[in-house]
Amino acid sequence: MSASTAPQLREVTGPSALGGGRRRFFDLLWLMSVTEFRRIYFGTVLGYLWSLVRPLLLFTVLLFVFTKVVRLGSDVPNYPVLLLLNIVLFTFFSEATQNAVGSVVTQEGVVRKTQFPRLVIPLAVVLTTLFNLGLNLLVVLAFLLAWGVDPSWTWLLVPLPILALIVITTAVSTALSVLYVRFRDTMIIWAVLSQVLFYGTPVIYPIEIVPEQYADIMMINPLVPIFDQIRVWALDPSAPSAVDVAGGVVGLIPAAVVFIGVCAFSVWIFRRDAPRIAELL
């Protein structure tokens, strides 16, 4: 062993949110998500079906309630398809965020003993749920075609609001996972908050039945324009678009500010806490 072949001394800076090379980051992210996905869906008897059964069950109950009991949905075109689509989308958001809350703490053993980019943990949770969303959307698509909704060129635009949904889900998940390390009641608070969001987002009802003064307040929630726009582009071009509901492009600014604010907060808090997670656990 000659000195010339000796590896160079490099500074060790400790753990961080990213760091350690891009390839390793993505390898690790992919591997963790796939492993987790397999664990959840191959470890149980019904496997993947479980992830489908849950939204379908909720869908059936709500469909019954809102078409036979409350009759809220009877006037809405393609209401059952809209309901199913919305439930699948919202399930993605709530499942990803709620699983992410405890993710870093659950992985305590690994975090405290291994050096790797910490951001991988919440991201893997989101990615696992995203696999699920992909599969569920295929079911929704089959349902949509079977229901007789005509394909439209605007379907090509649907990935845009879905991407926005993925981004906000990721931001919220990341922030929650690191907040939970410091505040153990984050989980309870978030469980309640996501219930509030479920009703504060046009999931089970169409946005146009909300009285205008409340609709304005609701527009602060960035999920509202996202869900509304998906509906317009996927199912019902006659429904009011996000811009219509907001009363012009200016009306979308609060939602955009909240959206960007959440993302910025998430980046800030995770970068700040990532190096110290192992100590705080």
Cβ–Cβ under 8 Å, residues 35 and 133: no
57 vs 61: CA distance, rounded Å: 6
Given 68, 71, 184, 272, the residue binding other proteins (CB under 8 A): 184
Category of 15 on φ-ψ map: left (φ > 0), alpha (ψ -120 to 50) or beta: beta
**Cβ 13 to other proteins, closest distance in Å?**
7
**Selected range binding other proteins among 77-85, 94-102, 110-118, 125-133, rule: CB under 8 A:** 110-118
Site string for other proteins, 132-171 (x = CB under 8 A): ----------------------------------------
Nearest Cα neighbor of 50 from 126, 124, 136, 148 is 136
Cβ atoms within 10 Å, residue 98: 17
Question: Least distance to other proteins from the beta carbon of 74, Å?
Answer: 43
Q: Which one among 183, 211, 213, 248 touches other proteins, defined by CB under 8 A?
A: 183
Contact call for residue 1 and other proteins (CB under 8 A): yes
Residue 60 in the binding site for other proteins (CB under 8 A): no
Q: Which of 18, 52, 164, 189 binds other proteins (CB under 8 A)?
A: 189
At 51, the amino acid letter reads S
Q: Which stretch binds other proteins (CB under 8 A): 94-102, 112-120, 155-163, 265-273?
A: 112-120
Judged by CB under 8 A, the number of residues near other proteins is 42
Encode 48-110 in three state secondary structure.
Answer: CHHHHHHHHHHHHHHHHHHHHHCCCHHHCCCHHHHHHHHHHHHHHHHHHHHHHHCHHHHCHHH
Q: Strands (DSSP E) along 101-221, which ranges?
A: none
- Secondary structure of residue 121 in the 3-state scheme: helix
Confirm or reject binding of residue 248 to other proteins (CB under 8 A): no
220 with 258: CB under 8 angstroms? yes
Q: Interface residues with other proteins (CB under 8 A)? A: 1, 3, 6-15, 20-21, 23-24, 27-28, 30-32, 35, 39, 107, 109-116, 182-186, 189, 275-276, 278-279
